[in-house]
Amino acid sequence: MKSSFYDVVFKGLSTSEVNPKLLDLFIKHFPSKSPEQIGRLLHENLRFVKNKTQADANKISEFINDNGGIASIVPSSVHDLKKTNVSNESSSSSDDVEVNELQETTDALLSRVAKKVTDAAGIEKIEHFSIKELLSETFKKRSQEEVEMHCMVGTIATTPSLKTIDAGWPKPWLFIRLFVFMIIVYMTLLYSYGEWQNIIIVPGLIFIGSFAMPLTVLMFFFEMNAPNNVSLIVVSKSVLLGGAISLLTSLMIFDITEAFGWLGSSVAGLAEEPGKLIALLLITNASRYRYIHNGILLGAAVGAGFASFESMGYAFRVLLGSGSDSFLDNITVRGLLSPFAHIVWTAMIGGALWKVRQEKKFRWNMLRDARFLKIFFIAVGLHMIWNAPLILPFYTKYIILGFISWVVILGLQHEGLKQIAICKSASSL
């Protein structure tokens, strides 16, 4: 059966031989890859263009051949012959085409949704981003010395100069090691509690269980802070003090929002997001933290502290109320959902505020800036919908809300990288 999809197989091009017109063509077809990634792939003579229509394959092949490369077009099913026997050829090819079509449709849908989200938030479309590339360093083996050096950034002595900062997407890897470590500690405590039912283990279970996922996500943001100018000491202070102050301010605002009691649990969005914003303003106003990435990280730290303290409180309340082990279920569910809630909402708010603030001292009129207000109200709205009595199967509501939150976060990260590039260019003049 003749395939309607084709691969372009080529060789002979190096990065220096890729002219702007050809590079633009590849960027158009593969917006998730940066020009550097495309150049590297071309240089390594990889089969880069897969499952294209014949018209697109012909166009790409023509450009490659006109620019010093050697390209040929083969039906996508030709490659399947190497993996399957003759009797399964048609079926495999058909299945591959269907999978590719489904993948392309899903990617296109997600891309359209992400574009609508970034438009609503007033931020630029996310470009040159690839989850695979982002996590490409995650599972590489690291020595203890590398881990220690990775954490020793952000002080006066260890903050890199502007000209040495990489304006490309960071590649975090320590966050997954922290997560594994926290899980090992939690499982050790859980096993001990299950074997001996000793009540003195319960506080440790609640503490570690409540902090495990928030700290993991926070470490991810720490590694995504491209300027590397915020130390773990500052982050730790923001978690503890910021978390405590945000609880205090939120409780105070809850008293003011009693008139909105008809909203039920959704009123938390009107109280807690301003409460966390106030805490963020109170503890981090140093002019040296002038980048959008700094605002995202410091906001995430306050959000992580708030989320962890709140989860501990909920688990303790369940323990007192039921007297059973159901507090463990509470810890598990809140831990699994935490990457989509308080941490990212406050990170969004922090990134938006730093986008307005930059190197200036905070002024109250910054809170009236449309660039801040759009994202702030998105965070409030997401929080209110999160708490609303709308139930969808398989946690679908939380996944959708989480997707929106992370699109905004990645959009702010992208703008942060552009900010760094602009600063580097200005400093070189």
Do 306 and 187 fall into the same domain? yes
Residue 428 or 276, more confident: 276
Task: Measure the CA–CA gap between 147 and 142, rounded to whole angstroms.
Answer: 7
Do 205 and 71 fall into the same domain? no
CA torsion sign for 392, 395, 401, 404 is negative
pLDDT digits (tens, 9 = 90+) for 53-79: 777 777 777 777 776 667 777 776 544
Q: 2 is in which domain, residue-wise?
A: 1-78
Beta strand 6-11 pairing with 49-52: antiparallel
Classified as helix, coil or strand, 120 is helix
Mean pLDDT of 422-429: 80
Judge whether 103 lies within some domain.
no
* Domains held by the chain: number: 2
Rg of the chain over Cα atoms, rounded to whole angstroms, equals 25
Judge whether 319 lies within some domain.
yes
Residue 92 or 249, more confident: 249
| CATH code, domain with 12 | 3.30.1390
340: exposed, middle or buried (Cβ count in 10 Å: 0-12, 13-18, 19+) = buried
Per the prediction, the chain carries an average pLDDT of 86
Do 300 and 420 fall into the same domain? yes
Residues 314, 207, 339, CA angle at the centre, nearest 5°? 70
pLDDT digits (tens, 9 = 90+) for 125-183: 898 888 999 999 999 999 999 999 999 999 999 999 998 998 899 999 999 999 999 99
Task: Measure the CA–CA gap between 363 and 359, rounded to whole angstroms.
Answer: 12
Do 73 and 150 fall into the same domain? no
Structure confidence at residue 1 (pLDDT): 43
Poorest-confidence range of 61-70, 187-196, 287-296? 61-70
pLDDT digits (tens, 9 = 90+) for 383-397: 999 999 998 988 999
* pLDDT-derived band at 426, boundaries 50, 70, 90: confident
Q: Where are the alpha helices (DSSP H) in 122-173?
A: 131-134, 144-151
pLDDT at 208 over 70: yes
Judge whether 55 lies within some domain.
yes
Task: Measure the CA–CA gap between 305 and 292, rounded to whole angstroms.
Answer: 20
Using the 3D structure, point to which of 44, 78, 112 is the last residue of a domain.
78
Structure confidence at residue 210 (pLDDT): 98
Do 283 and 157 fall into the same domain? yes
